[in-house]
Structure 1
């Protein structure tokens, strides 16, 4: 059966918008709802801020240049505390509105390489520049996710299974040496695939050991999906519009091998002239036909191409509706 899914982010800037996002996700994605993210509320609610809120054993603070590690004092700064408090408030809302829900549930977190490419070391420059720092950050994220998974399970007791989606939009840039240094005049060195796989595996293994399903999402072009599978991902969340010819084959092989594939096919902002579910269904069917796949082969999901934070509130809900309608038609 083809199911509808969402990537995670939604539009909105306050608690009322967050509650509405939870209701929209529960109403439009009944087979796989998720914990919404509203990055429009500021840095503490951003993809990076949300992931830093679950770290175990590392503290961070917020500088004009962005998030920065400050050590292992056990006394997090005010911005780190705010990020954790906001995540707790959001989960309180999820807990309240999912009463009576039963089924698979999903939460999201930024991955170790995206954090390494966006968070600074205590004395400046990205964590990416330091082998030891990026390893420590990955291990801290892995340990923090263990507690986070248990917390989500406690709050959503009807979740028969839990998916943890690891967002890695920066992974292609990390592997190609395209992440700029602090000065902006140079680029960080290329990270070689074995190390990239090892740190990603550190996080994915922790998720699996807690009994959750580790999925990896990126809507950037050039993601090495074979490496992601090799690191332990049991689900791939991809944007159909950025897949290369080789990617199509890799994703198809994953689907046939039993790996869940969430195919991003609905635009993240409203297209001129509108969009019908029939047009999206035809697009998915053409893709399946091109690869010789059946809609019922493996675990196929459909959803927006990427996050919906930049969409209007009306289009965000419409995008989720379209995803559900397309999934129903394909089934």
Structure 2
């Protein structure tokens, strides 16, 4: 069961000491200093299409305050979230089998294709971001989502083997550290920020990940174990980490306890305002998914109003909103058309600018 569904108290009564002692109640640790400017907007990761050059140009041009290295899942296997993220694993090769990714004995064609796609992305980032100085976000699936999505060679999710989960987390930490170092070398003026996508973590915590047969579910993971595993990655990459979960029961308190500099949630599904408020009170930033990641977007004024309404409910001064909040779509934009994706990004930026102007007036 997740920390949120268990009704676990938040930072104000010190209950999260049971999860970790690294986050004193109400504190804003130095490593949680927000690495984005006030009034920033960004995207969650994916874009439609297959042209990485155009995608990077779009992100750098439309999101100058907090651009990111876009992902293009329409390119096929190895560009999808699980395959791309598994490509960062060190000495743990994967392969496609029956339309699912599983651990393999050696690097094969699927792993080489994944590596080639990432290399092309980095080459284009190097070229298009030449001379760029400022924050830059990278994305990867987190260890628990990978453990729930990758299969063991003998069948069943990696999640069913605690030892394999620990090995996967350590491998991911090493691979992401190398990835961060490589991007830093290619774009030396960038201040990097890593987004860990954990859409499967609520199911992991609640014991809802199905067994291989589909007739049962794997045992729930304890919150303390989930935190320790996340800390393996967060403590190794050397840059601030945003924890992203677009599920209704996003474990915000758990992410905060693991040391995330910010949490990213879907505003439409963010019903536990106590967890959100306690995280902000502890110095954690908030990436608000304030509009859908598909279709024609609403006006920027309406998006800004929704975020302002949330902030007012949380009870924090309006003047702090642009510094503490980043405006995003609720999810990646791979399901949108190219025109819709560009419009959604533009509305996010305009809503963030509107909120910044209001705070300064």
Which category describes the TM-score, using the shorter chain as reference length? over 0.9
* Contact 2:312 2:318 (C-alpha < 8 Å) held by counterparts: no
Choose which of 52, 64, 72 in structure 2 pairs with 1:18: 52
Cα 1:295–1:22 change in 2 (3 A) is: farther
Query: What is the count of residue pairs matched by the alignment?
Result: 317
- Does the 8 A contact of 1:2 with 1:296 survive in 2? no
| Structure 2 unaligned regions, length at least 5 | 1-37, 357-361
Q: Distance in 2 between matches of 1:316 and 1:121?
A: 36
Question: Quick one: distance in 2 between partners of 1:323 and 1:256?
Answer: 24
Partner of 2:158: 127
Q: State the Cα distance separating 1:36 from its structure 2 match.
A: 0.1
Question: 1:68 — aligned with what?
Answer: 102
Shift of 1:214: 1.2
Q: In the alignment, which residue of structure 2 is the partner of 1:242?
A: 269
| Aligned pairs (5 A) from 1:4-83 | 4-12=41-49, 14=50, 17-71=51-105, 75-83=106-114
1:49 Cα offset (Å)? 1.1
1:69-117 superposed Cα distances (whole Å, 9 cap, x missing partner): 124xxx4111011111111111111111111211001100000000000
The CA deviation at 1:56 is: 1.0
Deviations 1:229-281 (A, max 9, x none): 1011111111111112xx3222223223321211110221125xx52111111
What residue is the counterpart of 2:311 in the other structure? Answer: 288
Quick check: 1:262–1:303 contact (8 Å CA) kept in 2?
yes
Give 1:58 deviation, angstroms: 1.1
Cα distance in 2, alignment partners of residues 294 and 2 from structure 1: 15
Please tell me whether the aligned partners of residues 2 and 295 of structure 1 are also in contact (alpha carbons under 8 angstroms). no
2:240 maps to: 213
Distance 2:346 2:94 in 1: 38
**Residue 316 (str. 1) matches residue 341 (str. 2):** yes
CA distance in 1, matches of 2:216, 2:282: 41
Gapped regions of structure 1 (runs ≥ 5)? none
Say which SS state the counterpart of residue 59 (structure 2) adopts: helix
* Alpha-carbon distance, 1:183 to partner: 1.3
Query: What's the counterpart of residue 257 of structure 2?
Result: 230
Match of 1:180 in 2: 210
In 2: Cα distance, 1:152 partner to 1:296 partner: 34
- SS in structure 2 of the partner of residue 106 of structure 1: strand
Map Cα deviations across residues 163-200 of structure 1 (whole Å, 9 max, x no partner): 00000000001111111111111111111111111111
Match of 1:305 in 2: 330
SS of equivalent residue, structure 2 residue 107:
coil
**Secondary structure at the counterpart of residue 114 of structure 1:** helix
